[in-house]
Amino acid sequence: MYCYILVLLCTTFVVKADNQQDFADKIDSCGDFYNLLGYDTPNKNDPAGLQGYIAFVNMVNAHNANSESSYVAEVNCWSTIQSPLPQMAVRENDSEEPIVGANEGDSPDEYDRRDDNTTTDARSQGSCGSCWAFAAIASLESRYLVLTGDSSADVDFSEQQILDCTYESNADQDGCQGGWMTPAWSRLQRVEMSILYTETQRPYTKKDGVCDILTLNKPNAMRKVVMSYPAYQQKGDTGITYPMGGATQERIWLDGAVSIAIRVENAFQSYKEGLFNTACTAAGVNHALTFIGYTQEAFIAQNSWGKFWGVAGTVKLSRASNLCEMLTYTMWPKMECAWGKNTDGYCVAKEPCGGCKNNGRCQQSTTGSWSCNCLDGFEGDKCDTEEDPCNGVDCGANGQCSGGKCECGTGWSGDKCEKEDGSCTDRLDCSDMGQCREGKCQCDTGASGDKCEKHVCDDVDCGDYGQCLKDGKCYCDKGWSGDRCENEDDKACTKKCKFNKECFWKTEQKMSCRCPSGSYGRKCDKKVDCDSGKSDEWCEKRANKWGKEKWTRKCGMKWGMRKCPNLCGYCA
């Protein structure tokens, strides 16, 4: 019977792809697929697309023609997509060192969490590489259902929140470019981040967004439970002979769905049904799935490519080996009931604090009493009163508090409005164009203002061929003139210079000599290494107040930047 089925399937799923019409017809049939995953409709006349489609069809036909194949492949809508699969990048710093699991032996030989209504349906990540966020949410939802006894129809947590908030403080990491499940769970352990919204409250957009947990201020969908400490456990369950994954099987049976990292390749895309056992051709995980059940020969994994793929979005992965590294990283969230369990063994549904508002958390003290732990910005027994941000803020007689900060009266400054404008206590109170003396900022020539923050050259633009000096005037380079050095002229500089120095107009009436760009010294025999951006130990490249960088001799702090003699030459 088994062989008969395989032969029948081989004849049923042979597909021809010998002309462009087949490719066009396939594209026409995949409109819902493109809309769900967020892909643009492929060009029917694209030669590369046609060749990719034919190669996909040939791969499927070759697989299905093999009488020993344990699964059926199909020419699905992935055959028309030439862009890389949405994938996951492993965050090495977020993963634990894998350890060998153990087969505890208490679980039944077969189990599927869908039978107990303790897992949710497969969803679609679209073209965003957010498989890790979907795997993290799938495990959270399953564990929540196990603890609370709620119906899976009523549980739909927001993948978008996980996508936006897990890496939002790290600009080098991008949720749609990859992530890892465990940081998402750890972040939910923090009191201010323990709010998890529903898909309706925070819909999935297939792209990165802004983390708005606190500003959105909607009811917490995960309020009956809290994350344990640590918020997750991760194991490499590769030390058991067939069937592999005994400890993972036990975890699915005891606690709920388990998130895994795996490597997927082209053969995985074409999966339709059966026992997937095609080994990967390269190392390294690039995708995340969720184990929702098992048999003796397979783990049942839920994907995030929607219900178009596989068996309603799931695949059976062979347990004969560590297939495509699927057992190298297995992980699951750890949570517990927030207010204890009822007589049925499920989490108490009603908090004992009488209703904490504004997502305050009802917590038990060491003495056994319950009280609301309020988020920042709220106070009161029920967290129902907005905190006064000015409570405890002393602005003295010279200012008043607004929004938690002091707004100082005219003539006063400082965190507590304690400084009279123009006063100083040390040199840091003055800009680098002044020094603190006798409680006042004494400004260098050309500088002004209470803190010496203004300069006569602030509003003077000398263009590319001049420099504003402390008198507020533009001093032009050789061959240029005008109030802003805007006029090119032929006024020759005739001063004779030694040591390869060049003549320049120091003022409108006076000629002088200077070293060529990139050199300095009395004989211009010392060079500034402009190409490498370095100079000798006495020189450095420094930006002046107007953002123009020039090579200049290093100064001691006591001399101030504007008293530093410029002896190093300029680099263009």
Closest CA to 407 of 393, 422, 386: 393
Burial of 387 (0-12, 13-18, 19+ CB in 10 A): middle
What is the model's pLDDT at position 490?
A: 60
CA angle centred on 449, ends 444 and 455, rounded to 5°: 55
Dihedral sign, Cα of residue 369, residue 374, residue 379, residue 382: negative
Give the integer Cα–Cα distance in Å for 214 and 195: 9
Radius of gyration of the chain (CA): 35
Structure tokens at 103: 């087969």
Note the pTM of the prediction, 2 decimals: 0.63
The CA distance from 546 to 420, in Å, is 28
- The two tokens of residue 433 are 């164009």
Do the strands 314-318 and 330-337 form a parallel or antiparallel pair, or are they unpaired?
unpaired
d(CA 488, CA 67): 86
User: CA 295, 298, 303, 306 torsion: positive or negative?
Assistant: negative
Question: Residue 2: its pLDDT value, please?
Answer: 25
Cα dihedral 474/478/481/486 (nearest 10): -80
| Bridge partner list, 341 | 347
**Residue 520 CA: distances (Å) to CA of 516, 536, 538, 551:** 8, 11, 11, 10
DSSP secondary structure letter of residue 482: S
pLDDT reported for residue 151? 87
Q: Which of these, 259, 261, 202, lies nearest to 231 by C-alpha position? A: 259
Q: Look at residue 546 in the predicted model and tell me its pLDDT.
A: 59
Name the nearest CA neighbour of 23 among 54, 48, 58: 54
pLDDT for 321: 92
What domains are there in the chain, each with its CATH number? Answer: 2-80 (no CATH), 92-335 (3.90.70.10), 351-387 (2.10.25.10), 396-454 (no CATH), 456-514 (no CATH), 515-572 (no CATH)
| pLDDT < 50 stretches in the chain | 1-17, 91-103, 530-537, 555-572
Quote the CA–CA distance of 235 and 330 in Å, as a whole number: 5
Question: Model confidence over 140-191: pLDDT tens digits?
Answer: 999 999 999 998 888 999 999 999 988 876 655 568 888 889 988 988 888 6
Which tens digit of pLDDT belongs to each residue from 377-422? Answer: 788 888 888 877 777 788 888 888 887 788 888 778 788 887 776 6
323, 272 contact by CB (below 8 A): no
Q: Which long-range contacts (CB under 8 A, 24 or more apart) does 518-526 make?
A: 518/569, 518/570, 518/571, 519/569, 520/567, 520/568, 520/569, 521/567, 523/499, 524/499, 524/500, 524/569, 525/499
How far apart, in whole angstroms, are the C-alpha atoms of residue 24 and residue 42? Answer: 9
Give me the pLDDT at residue 522, please. 77
CA distances from 163 to 26, 196, 258 (A): 32, 12, 19
The pLDDT of residue 435: 81
